[in-house]
Amino acid sequence: MTETVYQSISPSDFFYRNREIAGFSNPSRAIYAAVREILENSLDACEVHRVPPDIYIRLTEVEAASENGASIYTMRVEDNGSGLPSEQIPHSFCQVFYGSKYTLKQARGTFGLGGTITILYGQITTHKPVTITSSTGGDIHEYEMMIDIEHNRPIILRHNVLDNKKGWRGTVLELQLEGDYSRIKSRLLDYLKQTAMVNPYADITFVDPGGRLFRFERGTEMMPPLPQPVDPHPHGIDVENFRRLVTITNSKNMKNFMMDHFQGVGVKTAANFLEAAGINPRAKPRTLKPEDIVKLVRAAKEYPNFKRPDPTCLSPIGEELLENGIRKELGLTEDDFLKVVTRKPSTYLGFPFIVEVAIATGSSIRRQFKGGTTIIRFANRIPLLFDESSGVIWKVVNRNIHWDTYKVTSDTPMIVVVHVCSTKIPYKTVGKEYMADQPEVEREITNAIRTAARSLRLYISRGVRLARERHRLDIFAKFLPKIAEFAAKLSDREELPDIAPLLAAVSQTIPEVEKKLKEVPDIGGQSS
């Protein structure tokens, strides 16, 4: 009889065995995921330090493609961010689930892994260490490390301390990994372009394995405000989180407990909720039985009088920055149409979220994308490039919005940009490339697009009327000379009548029409 073996594995070992969960499913996706993880780590570090990011990424092929099409690359990423304290560097980069992102606020990243999963992938495909160089402004610390996969801890191979005479601050990461750049090149460049679009204050330089340099220059120094950590909202709490709060609380009674650990709960709200839940407000939190905790959590989810979740934990791009980024990366001119809409904060299941939408069209869009609608999706300022048709954004754009209402045809070249930021993005799968059909999120996206589309309808109507007037002028210009010539023959006159004043009078209607159309109220500013 075969003996059953029971064992536990570390978080590092789990991702070693299931690296596709974090996006490292094949050599090409591995390159994409590696650049994405490290770049977003660098953006976060710069934003925390409140300096416009200067990020340099270089991929160098060091070993030609093998039979499976994968090559070995060296990836080097440099940033001017906050840097890390020396004692935090080994754990931050070589220990899975160690970092500063595990608070209730909007954050980039797939699982809060930062660069750790990239380092893990590089190690298991090349067995090479990672080199991390970082400084917070003092000494420069250089580490060469690997991950102890079985025990989820760093192995420090080398640690050097260098003088920092120039006061440099930032982080440099260099590692080797297996990948296939050729198959993911276009997607990776799209990712970098879209990242620059929603982070227009960043300067990103990418050098590919062929030595080609791609520069995404910043368009502004202005940065959005940082999201602030907040207490959980009662509607978003679960039994386990509630139990943990009970075990660590210093609150003397349940009334104070509700006020101390949940956002937007004051004296009156706490008293009314506990009365509705059937819990004594003077009871000590640590005396709660498991069934009491379950009852409280269920009551909290159903109680209607809590305040809306605090949106300060969110950091939307903002209309000015989003417009700047779109114009910069799409090369829009003043003649092109662009409307940006930011909705007011809303909530689903106790989690706050904000929807931002932009619609662009015009000759610049036609040159780049030809006809039809192109959707560009973001979640917490991260581009979503895969599985587009599976998500709620595609559903809203292609099913919920009746574009003919806004004079948009199937040939109209149009870009629809949608950004959702939240403390908890409603992803549908572990791949986190598209969002589920959460009714509240779907409604906000729909209303935002409709608001922007009303301005689009006005723009298209103006264009149609101007085209009609210009066509009328062309007809006059074509036939008036012939009419004048025919009239001269009929009257036996050698000299043709002067039609210039008449053409000038007709031509004057064009700027008049343009002026009147500009005086039409911009109904696109109305909200649903």
AA identity, residue 295: K
Tell me: do 427 and 361 sit in the same domain.
Answer: yes
**Percentage above 90 pLDDT, the chain:** 63
AA identity, residue 256: N
What average pLDDT does the chain have?
Answer: 88
Number of domains in the chain: 4
Does residue 165 belong to any structural domain of this protein?
yes
Tell me: do 355 and 303 sit in the same domain.
Answer: no
The parent domain of residue 478 ranges over 459-525
**How many CA atoms are closer than 13 Å to the CA of 331, on its beta-carbon side?**
8
Reply yes or no on whether the pLDDT at 388 is more than 60.
yes
With bands split at pLDDT 50, 70 and 90, how would you rate the model's confidence at 510?
A: low
Contact assessment for residue 196 and residue 204, using Cβ atoms and an 8 Å cutoff: yes
DSSP track, 279-332? --TTS-GGG--HHHHHHHHHHHHH-TTSPPPPGGG-----HHHHHHHHHHHHT-
* Cα 386 from Cα 390, distance rounded (Å): 9
Q: Alpha carbon 143 to chain centroid distance?
A: 31
Q: Kindly provide the residue ranges of all beta strands, DSSP E only, lying in 180-223, ordered along the sequence.
A: 203-207, 213-216
The average pLDDT across 450-454 equals: 95
Does residue 2 belong to any structural domain of this protein?
no
Tell me: do 338 and 405 sit in the same domain.
Answer: yes
Tell me: do 180 and 56 sit in the same domain.
Answer: yes
Reply yes or no on whether the pLDDT at 1 is more than 70.
no
Position with higher pLDDT, 138 vs 474:
138
Answer yes or no: pTM beyond 0.85.
Answer: no
Tell me: do 72 and 155 sit in the same domain.
Answer: yes
Tell me: do 66 and 167 sit in the same domain.
Answer: yes
Does residue 19 belong to any structural domain of this protein?
yes
Position with higher pLDDT, 481 vs 141:
141
* Cα 33 from Cα 120, distance rounded (Å): 12
Does residue 81 belong to any structural domain of this protein?
yes
Does residue 200 belong to any structural domain of this protein?
yes
Reply yes or no on whether the pLDDT at 259 is more than 50.
yes
Query: Could you report the per-residue pLDDT of 135-182, keeping only the tens digit for each?
Result: 999 999 999 999 999 999 999 999 999 999 999 999 999 999 999 999
Does residue 1 belong to any structural domain of this protein?
no
* CATH code of the domain in which 116 resides: 3.30.565.10
Q: Identify the pLDDT of residue 519.
A: 47
Q: Identify the pLDDT of residue 521.
A: 41
With bands split at pLDDT 50, 70 and 90, how would you rate the model's confidence at 480?
A: confident
Q: Identify the pLDDT of residue 520.
A: 43
* Cα 205 from Cα 315, distance rounded (Å): 25
Among 4-8, 12-16, 137-141, 423-427, the range of highest mean pLDDT: 137-141
Joined together, the tokens standing for residue 54 give 């200067």
> Per this entry, what is the length of the chain?
528
Tell me: do 107 and 132 sit in the same domain.
Answer: yes
**Percentage above 70 pLDDT, the chain:** 89
3-state secondary structure of 400: helix
Q: Identify the pLDDT of residue 21.
A: 83
Reply yes or no on whether the pLDDT at 258 is more than 90.
yes
Q: Identify the pLDDT of residue 100.
A: 67
Tell me: do 141 and 58 sit in the same domain.
Answer: yes
Q: Report the C-alpha dihedral over residues 103, 37, 45, 201, rounded to 10 degrees.
A: -110
Q: Identify the pLDDT of residue 522.
A: 41
